[in-house]
Structure 1
Amino acid sequence: MLDERTRTRRVLLGRIVGVHGVHGAVKLESFTEPRLAIFDYKPWLLEREPGRFEEIAGAKGHVQGKGIAATLPGSVDRDAAASLIGTRIWVPRAALPEPEPGEFYQTDLEGLQVANLAGDDLGRVSHLFDNGAHDVLVTRDKAGRERLIPYVVDVYVKSVDLDAGRILVDWNKDD
Protein backbone atom coordinates (compact mmCIF):
# COMPACT_ATOMS: atom_id res chain seq x y z
CA MET A 1 0.00 0.00 0.00
CA LEU A 2 1.32 3.43 -0.91
CA ASP A 3 1.65 6.07 1.80
CA GLU A 4 0.96 9.74 1.02
CA ARG A 5 4.67 10.56 0.61
CA THR A 6 5.05 7.81 -1.97
CA ARG A 7 1.73 8.52 -3.67
CA THR A 8 2.74 12.11 -4.52
CA ARG A 9 6.18 11.23 -5.90
CA ARG A 10 7.10 11.02 -9.55
CA VAL A 11 9.46 8.61 -11.29
CA LEU A 12 11.66 9.65 -14.21
CA LEU A 13 11.21 7.23 -17.12
CA GLY A 14 13.00 8.97 -19.96
CA ARG A 15 13.64 12.14 -21.91
CA ILE A 16 13.16 13.58 -25.36
CA VAL A 17 16.50 13.78 -27.14
CA GLY A 18 15.68 14.76 -30.72
CA VAL A 19 13.22 14.96 -33.59
CA HIS A 20 12.25 12.20 -35.99
CA GLY A 21 11.04 13.21 -39.43
CA VAL A 22 8.91 16.23 -40.30
CA HIS A 23 5.50 15.27 -38.85
CA GLY A 24 6.14 16.01 -35.18
CA ALA A 25 7.64 12.73 -34.00
CA VAL A 26 10.38 12.80 -31.36
CA LYS A 27 13.30 10.58 -30.39
CA LEU A 28 13.24 9.25 -26.84
CA GLU A 29 15.81 7.93 -24.44
CA SER A 30 13.97 5.42 -22.25
CA PHE A 31 15.22 4.47 -18.80
CA THR A 32 12.85 1.48 -18.61
CA GLU A 33 13.73 -2.14 -19.25
CA PRO A 34 12.74 -3.15 -21.84
CA ARG A 35 12.94 0.31 -23.34
CA LEU A 36 9.48 0.19 -24.97
CA ALA A 37 7.96 -0.38 -21.51
CA ILE A 38 7.95 3.41 -21.18
CA PHE A 39 4.66 3.31 -23.12
CA ASP A 40 3.09 0.97 -20.54
CA TYR A 41 2.97 3.66 -17.83
CA LYS A 42 0.37 6.41 -17.84
CA PRO A 43 -0.17 9.27 -17.58
CA TRP A 44 3.06 10.87 -18.72
CA LEU A 45 4.06 14.08 -17.01
CA LEU A 46 6.22 16.17 -19.33
CA GLU A 47 8.66 18.50 -17.57
CA ARG A 48 9.82 21.14 -20.05
CA GLU A 49 10.88 23.53 -17.30
CA PRO A 50 12.05 22.48 -13.83
CA GLY A 51 9.06 21.84 -11.59
CA ARG A 52 6.39 22.48 -14.27
CA PHE A 53 4.56 19.38 -15.45
CA GLU A 54 2.08 18.86 -18.27
CA GLU A 55 0.03 15.67 -18.21
CA ILE A 56 -0.43 13.92 -21.55
CA ALA A 57 -2.06 10.70 -22.67
CA GLY A 58 -1.86 8.84 -25.95
CA ALA A 59 1.89 8.73 -26.62
CA LYS A 60 2.77 5.97 -29.08
CA GLY A 61 6.14 4.72 -30.22
CA HIS A 62 8.33 2.10 -31.79
CA VAL A 63 11.98 1.11 -31.96
CA GLN A 64 13.82 3.16 -34.56
CA GLY A 65 17.43 2.09 -35.03
CA LYS A 66 19.14 2.28 -31.63
CA GLY A 67 16.47 4.53 -30.17
CA ILE A 68 12.74 5.04 -29.92
CA ALA A 69 10.58 7.23 -32.14
CA ALA A 70 7.37 8.51 -30.57
CA THR A 71 4.34 10.56 -31.49
CA LEU A 72 2.87 12.80 -28.82
CA PRO A 73 -0.48 14.57 -28.83
CA GLY A 74 -0.05 18.17 -29.99
CA SER A 75 3.32 17.66 -31.67
CA VAL A 76 2.27 18.05 -35.31
CA ASP A 77 5.41 19.27 -37.07
CA ARG A 78 9.19 19.35 -36.80
CA ASP A 79 9.20 22.73 -35.01
CA ALA A 80 6.80 21.46 -32.34
CA ALA A 81 8.95 18.35 -31.89
CA ALA A 82 12.13 20.45 -31.67
CA SER A 83 10.59 22.54 -28.89
CA LEU A 84 10.30 19.36 -26.80
CA ILE A 85 14.00 18.42 -26.91
CA GLY A 86 15.30 18.14 -23.36
CA THR A 87 11.85 17.49 -21.90
CA ARG A 88 11.90 14.88 -19.16
CA ILE A 89 9.19 12.20 -19.03
CA TRP A 90 7.85 11.30 -15.60
CA VAL A 91 4.96 9.20 -14.30
CA PRO A 92 3.30 9.26 -10.89
CA ARG A 93 4.86 6.71 -8.53
CA ALA A 94 1.37 5.26 -8.04
CA ALA A 95 1.33 4.26 -11.75
CA LEU A 96 4.09 1.71 -11.16
CA PRO A 97 3.39 -1.84 -9.99
CA GLU A 98 4.29 -2.71 -6.43
CA PRO A 99 7.84 -4.10 -6.26
CA GLU A 100 8.49 -7.65 -5.12
CA PRO A 101 9.12 -8.18 -1.38
CA GLY A 102 12.60 -6.94 -0.49
CA GLU A 103 12.83 -4.80 -3.63
CA PHE A 104 12.34 -1.03 -3.77
CA TYR A 105 12.07 1.75 -6.29
CA GLN A 106 14.82 4.30 -5.80
CA THR A 107 12.26 7.04 -5.32
CA ASP A 108 10.83 5.13 -2.33
CA LEU A 109 14.22 5.29 -0.59
CA GLU A 110 14.73 9.03 -1.06
CA GLY A 111 14.21 10.90 2.18
CA LEU A 112 14.63 7.86 4.43
CA GLN A 113 16.78 8.22 7.55
CA VAL A 114 20.04 6.22 7.44
CA ALA A 115 21.72 4.90 10.58
CA ASN A 116 24.64 2.55 11.11
CA LEU A 117 24.82 -0.51 13.35
CA ALA A 118 26.18 1.63 16.20
CA GLY A 119 23.07 3.83 16.00
CA ASP A 120 24.87 6.85 14.50
CA ASP A 121 22.72 9.09 12.31
CA LEU A 122 24.21 9.22 8.80
CA GLY A 123 21.60 11.59 7.40
CA ARG A 124 18.80 11.15 4.90
CA VAL A 125 18.92 9.61 1.44
CA SER A 126 19.29 12.47 -1.01
CA HIS A 127 19.35 10.28 -4.12
CA LEU A 128 20.90 7.16 -5.60
CA PHE A 129 23.05 6.59 -8.64
CA ASP A 130 24.47 3.61 -10.49
CA ASN A 131 28.27 3.42 -10.57
CA GLY A 132 28.32 0.51 -13.02
CA ALA A 133 28.86 -2.16 -10.38
CA HIS A 134 25.91 -1.34 -8.07
CA ASP A 135 23.72 1.49 -6.88
CA VAL A 136 25.10 4.01 -4.41
CA LEU A 137 23.10 5.71 -1.64
CA VAL A 138 23.91 9.40 -1.29
CA THR A 139 23.08 10.66 2.20
CA ARG A 140 23.23 14.17 3.64
CA ASP A 141 23.38 14.85 7.35
CA LYS A 142 22.19 17.98 9.19
CA ALA A 143 25.61 19.60 8.78
CA GLY A 144 25.38 19.12 5.01
CA ARG A 145 28.01 16.38 4.90
CA GLU A 146 27.49 13.97 2.05
CA ARG A 147 28.24 10.25 2.27
CA LEU A 148 28.33 7.69 -0.53
CA ILE A 149 27.29 4.25 0.69
CA PRO A 150 27.28 1.26 -1.67
CA TYR A 151 23.76 -0.16 -1.94
CA VAL A 152 24.80 -3.78 -1.59
CA VAL A 153 22.21 -5.77 0.36
CA ASP A 154 23.52 -7.94 3.20
CA VAL A 155 26.99 -6.43 2.85
CA TYR A 156 26.41 -2.72 3.59
CA VAL A 157 22.62 -2.39 3.55
CA LYS A 158 21.31 -4.52 6.40
CA SER A 159 17.64 -3.54 6.34
CA VAL A 160 15.16 -1.17 4.77
CA ASP A 161 11.97 -0.32 6.66
CA LEU A 162 9.73 1.91 4.55
CA ASP A 163 7.06 2.08 7.26
CA ALA A 164 9.57 3.37 9.81
CA GLY A 165 11.33 5.50 7.19
CA ARG A 166 14.72 4.01 8.02
CA ILE A 167 17.66 2.21 6.42
CA LEU A 168 20.20 0.36 8.57
CA VAL A 169 23.72 0.09 7.15
CA ASP A 170 27.05 -1.43 8.12
CA TRP A 171 29.06 1.74 7.61
CA ASN A 172 31.30 3.77 9.89
CA LYS A 173 30.23 7.32 10.65
CA ASP A 174 33.63 8.65 9.58
CA ASP A 175 33.97 6.67 6.30
Structure 2
Amino acid sequence: MGYIAAAFGVQGWVKVVADTEYADSLFDYSTWWLGRDGQWQAFELEEAGLQPKNVIAKLSGINDRDAAFALKGMTIAVPRSAMPAAEEGEYYWADLIGLEVVNLAGESLGRVDKLFETGANDVLVVRDGSIERLLPFVATVVLDVDLAAGKIKVDWGLDY
Protein backbone atom coordinates (compact mmCIF):
# COMPACT_ATOMS: atom_id res chain seq x y z
CA MET A 1 0.00 0.00 0.00
CA GLY A 2 3.02 2.27 0.51
CA TYR A 3 5.88 2.97 2.87
CA ILE A 4 6.95 5.33 5.63
CA ALA A 5 9.25 7.94 4.08
CA ALA A 6 10.18 10.04 7.12
CA ALA A 7 9.15 11.47 10.46
CA PHE A 8 6.88 14.53 10.28
CA GLY A 9 7.10 17.03 13.11
CA VAL A 10 7.86 16.18 16.73
CA GLN A 11 4.63 14.51 17.91
CA GLY A 12 5.03 11.12 16.24
CA TRP A 13 3.51 11.82 12.82
CA VAL A 14 5.03 10.16 9.73
CA LYS A 15 5.23 11.06 6.03
CA VAL A 16 3.90 8.29 3.81
CA VAL A 17 4.46 7.48 0.15
CA ALA A 18 1.28 5.76 -1.01
CA ASP A 19 1.41 3.06 -3.69
CA THR A 20 -2.33 3.29 -4.24
CA GLU A 21 -4.26 4.87 -7.08
CA TYR A 22 -5.52 7.57 -4.73
CA ALA A 23 -3.24 8.43 -1.82
CA ASP A 24 -6.10 9.13 0.55
CA SER A 25 -7.51 5.62 0.04
CA LEU A 26 -5.07 4.57 2.77
CA PHE A 27 -7.38 6.43 5.16
CA ASP A 28 -10.08 3.81 4.49
CA TYR A 29 -8.20 1.33 6.69
CA SER A 30 -8.19 1.81 10.46
CA THR A 31 -5.34 -0.65 10.99
CA TRP A 32 -2.07 -0.57 9.08
CA TRP A 33 0.46 -3.36 9.22
CA LEU A 34 4.03 -2.07 9.12
CA GLY A 35 6.80 -4.44 8.19
CA ARG A 36 10.45 -4.86 7.46
CA ASP A 37 12.44 -8.05 6.87
CA GLY A 38 9.37 -10.25 7.32
CA GLN A 39 8.49 -8.80 10.72
CA TRP A 40 5.02 -7.19 10.84
CA GLN A 41 3.21 -5.18 13.51
CA ALA A 42 -0.29 -3.70 13.53
CA PHE A 43 -0.83 0.00 14.24
CA GLU A 44 -4.14 1.80 14.59
CA LEU A 45 -4.48 4.89 12.41
CA GLU A 46 -5.35 7.73 14.81
CA GLU A 47 -5.33 10.66 12.38
CA ALA A 48 -4.26 11.30 8.81
CA GLY A 49 -4.14 14.08 6.30
CA LEU A 50 -3.11 15.11 2.83
CA GLN A 51 -0.36 17.65 2.33
CA PRO A 52 0.41 19.15 -1.10
CA LYS A 53 3.12 16.53 -1.73
CA ASN A 54 2.64 14.01 1.08
CA VAL A 55 0.30 11.86 3.05
CA ILE A 56 0.84 12.26 6.78
CA ALA A 57 -0.38 9.95 9.51
CA LYS A 58 -0.42 9.57 13.27
CA LEU A 59 -0.25 5.95 14.41
CA SER A 60 -1.13 4.58 17.84
CA GLY A 61 1.81 4.29 20.21
CA ILE A 62 4.06 6.52 18.10
CA ASN A 63 4.25 9.70 20.17
CA ASP A 64 7.53 11.41 19.37
CA ARG A 65 9.92 12.10 16.51
CA ASP A 66 12.35 9.33 17.50
CA ALA A 67 9.61 6.68 17.43
CA ALA A 68 8.36 8.02 14.08
CA PHE A 69 11.90 8.06 12.66
CA ALA A 70 12.35 4.39 13.65
CA LEU A 71 9.51 3.52 11.23
CA LYS A 72 11.29 5.06 8.23
CA GLY A 73 11.43 2.64 5.31
CA MET A 74 8.78 0.27 6.67
CA THR A 75 6.24 -1.11 4.23
CA ILE A 76 2.55 -0.42 4.83
CA ALA A 77 0.10 -3.26 4.23
CA VAL A 78 -3.49 -4.09 5.02
CA PRO A 79 -5.12 -7.51 5.13
CA ARG A 80 -6.42 -8.60 1.73
CA SER A 81 -9.76 -9.38 3.33
CA ALA A 82 -10.15 -5.67 4.20
CA MET A 83 -9.74 -4.57 0.58
CA PRO A 84 -12.66 -4.25 -1.83
CA ALA A 85 -12.96 -6.68 -4.70
CA ALA A 86 -11.27 -5.51 -7.89
CA GLU A 87 -13.60 -4.28 -10.63
CA GLU A 88 -14.02 -6.32 -13.80
CA GLY A 89 -10.83 -6.05 -15.88
CA GLU A 90 -8.89 -4.44 -13.02
CA TYR A 91 -6.29 -6.14 -10.86
CA TYR A 92 -4.37 -5.52 -7.70
CA TRP A 93 -0.67 -5.40 -8.47
CA ALA A 94 -0.03 -7.94 -5.73
CA ASP A 95 -2.18 -10.43 -7.67
CA LEU A 96 -0.11 -10.00 -10.83
CA ILE A 97 3.31 -10.43 -9.23
CA GLY A 98 4.56 -13.96 -9.83
CA LEU A 99 2.27 -14.73 -12.76
CA GLU A 100 3.84 -16.37 -15.80
CA VAL A 101 3.78 -14.22 -18.94
CA VAL A 102 3.24 -16.11 -22.21
CA ASN A 103 3.08 -14.67 -25.72
CA LEU A 104 0.79 -15.65 -28.60
CA ALA A 105 3.32 -18.23 -29.81
CA GLY A 106 3.14 -19.96 -26.41
CA GLU A 107 6.66 -18.85 -25.47
CA SER A 108 7.28 -17.97 -21.84
CA LEU A 109 8.68 -14.48 -21.33
CA GLY A 110 9.21 -15.06 -17.63
CA ARG A 111 7.29 -14.03 -14.52
CA VAL A 112 6.03 -10.66 -13.33
CA ASP A 113 8.63 -9.42 -10.85
CA LYS A 114 7.06 -6.04 -10.09
CA LEU A 115 5.09 -3.20 -11.63
CA PHE A 116 5.47 0.55 -11.84
CA GLU A 117 3.41 3.46 -13.04
CA THR A 118 4.55 5.85 -15.77
CA GLY A 119 1.61 8.24 -15.76
CA ALA A 120 0.45 7.00 -19.15
CA ASN A 121 0.03 3.36 -18.06
CA ASP A 122 1.31 0.73 -15.68
CA VAL A 123 4.31 -1.36 -16.71
CA LEU A 124 4.93 -5.04 -16.02
CA VAL A 125 8.54 -5.86 -15.17
CA VAL A 126 8.91 -9.44 -16.41
CA ARG A 127 12.01 -11.35 -15.38
CA ASP A 128 13.36 -14.53 -16.96
CA GLY A 129 16.66 -15.31 -15.27
CA SER A 130 18.93 -12.38 -16.05
CA ILE A 131 16.62 -11.05 -18.78
CA GLU A 132 14.28 -8.23 -17.81
CA ARG A 133 11.45 -7.10 -20.08
CA LEU A 134 9.25 -4.04 -19.60
CA LEU A 135 5.75 -4.54 -20.99
CA PRO A 136 3.13 -1.79 -20.98
CA PHE A 137 -0.05 -2.92 -19.24
CA VAL A 138 -2.36 -1.82 -22.06
CA ALA A 139 -5.09 -3.72 -23.91
CA THR A 140 -3.10 -4.02 -27.15
CA VAL A 141 -0.28 -5.85 -25.31
CA VAL A 142 -1.97 -7.60 -22.38
CA LEU A 143 -4.63 -9.76 -24.00
CA ASP A 144 -5.75 -11.91 -21.07
CA VAL A 145 -5.09 -12.21 -17.35
CA ASP A 146 -6.03 -15.58 -15.88
CA LEU A 147 -5.45 -15.36 -12.14
CA ALA A 148 -6.71 -18.91 -11.56
CA ALA A 149 -4.22 -20.36 -14.06
CA GLY A 150 -1.45 -17.99 -12.97
CA LYS A 151 -0.86 -16.70 -16.52
CA ILE A 152 -0.92 -13.50 -18.50
CA LYS A 153 -1.21 -13.77 -22.30
CA VAL A 154 0.52 -10.97 -24.20
CA ASP A 155 1.18 -9.84 -27.74
CA TRP A 156 4.92 -9.48 -27.27
CA GLY A 157 7.90 -11.21 -28.88
CA LEU A 158 10.89 -12.79 -27.19
CA ASP A 159 13.17 -10.41 -29.08
CA TYR A 160 11.39 -7.14 -28.24
Is the structural similarity TM-score above 0.5? yes
1:36 Cα deviation (Å)?
2.1
Report the residue type matching 2:37 in the other structure.
Answer: P
Q: Is the contact between residue 121 and residue 137 of structure 2 (CA under 8 Å) also seen in structure 1?
A: yes
- Asked if 1:29 is matched to 2:17, the reply is yes
**Partner secondary structure for residue 42 of structure 2:** strand
> Of 119, 136, 139, which residue of structure 2 is paired with 1:132?
119
CA contact (8 A) 1:75 1:81 kept: yes
Deviation at 1:39, TM superposition (A): 1.8
Deviation, 1:114, is 1.1
- Paired position in structure 1 for 2:138: 152
Correspondence for 2:39: 52
Deviation string, structure 1 residues 27-46 (Cα, Å, up to 9, x no partner): 22233343222121253111
Aligned to 1:73: 60
Given that 1:42 and 1:95 are in contact with CA atoms closer than 8 Å, whether structure 2 keeps it comes out as no
Distance in 2 (alpha carbons) for counterparts of 1:149 and 1:34: 23
Corresponding residue SS for 2:81: helix
TM-score of the aligned structures, taking structure 2 as reference length:
0.87
Cα distance, 1:30–1:59 mapped onto 2, change above 3 Å: farther
Q: If the length of structure 1 is used for normalisation, what is the TM-score?
A: 0.81
Residues paired across the two proteins, number:
160
Unaligned stretches of 5+ in structure 1? Answer: 1-12
Aligned CA RMSD, in angstroms, stands at: 1.9
Within-5 A mapping of 1:160-175: 160-175=145-160
- Structure 2 unaligned blocks of 5 or more: none
1:98-135 deviations in Å (ceiling 9; x for gaps): 11111111111111111111111111111111233211
- Report the CA distance shift for 1:86/1:107 in structure 2 as closer, same or farther (over 3 A): same
- CA distance in structure 2 between the aligned counterparts of 1:66 and 1:110, rounded to whole angstroms: 28
Percent identical among aligned pairs is 47
